[in-house]
Amino acid sequence: MFILYKYIVRNAPRREETKYGPSIVCLGNICRSPMAEAIFRDLVVKEGLEEKIVIDSAGTGDWHIGHPPHKGTKKILKENEVSFEGIKARQVEKEDLTKFDYIIAMDNKNIADLKSFGKTEGYIGRLSDFVPDGGWTDVPDPYFTGNFQEVYDLVTEGCAKLVAFIRNEQGI
């Protein structure tokens, strides 16, 4: 899957922009994807890449539009000193599929839902695609499991690999 992924990204149409970025997607945009947005942003800032890489998150559902992250997400991010300032839930829009270079889903259901929004110009895949030897496929939804620590650990691993991948692929 990872080799196929590299082929898809390398051959995806590019916009004439200097910033590259993923939009990270989950179901409601209050647990997993805002956590990933915050962690990814933190990594990008620590590496001094905020002028080259942008980040966003969204949900496939519309239940939580405008809401801040879930209290469990906020708690685990605070414990790890990761800012979630300014993050509010929003729903995926059709334009996102052409606006972002990478649409990164938390699970296979998210991918199926994303495909209903239309065709992308970049890549749609799972966060786990960046950790092929990680032993996990889907990031479990802590809204249902309550295990925010497990999700934090998986998302942190995936986001670190995603940042490295984007740096390598885009030469930044």
Model confidence pLDDT, tens digit, residues 94-140: 999 888 999 999 999 999 999 888 887 788 999 999 998 888 899 99
State residue 7's pLDDT score: 35
Burial class from Cβ neighbours inside 10 Å (0-12, 13-18, 19+) for residue 169 reads middle
Whether the per-residue pLDDT at 77 is higher than 80: the answer is yes
Q: Residue 142 is part of a domain; what is its CATH number?
A: 3.40.50.2300
- Check whether 12 has a pLDDT greater than 60: no
- For 38-74, b/e burial (b = at least 16 CB within 10 A) is bbbbbbbeeeebeebbbbbbbbbbeebeeebbbebbb
pTM of the model: 0.88
Please state the domain count of the chain: 1
Residues that are catalytic: 26, 32, 141
Domain-located, residue 17: no
pLDDT tens digit sequence for 27-75 = 999 999 999 999 999 999 999 999 999 999 999 999 999 999 999 999 9
In a domain, 160, yes or no: yes
* Stronger pLDDT, 30 or 169, i.e. the higher one: 30
Residue 13 domain flag: no
The whole domain housing 69 covers 2-8+24-170
Does residue 61 form part of some domain?
yes
Which pLDDT score, from 0 to 100, does residue 133 have?
87
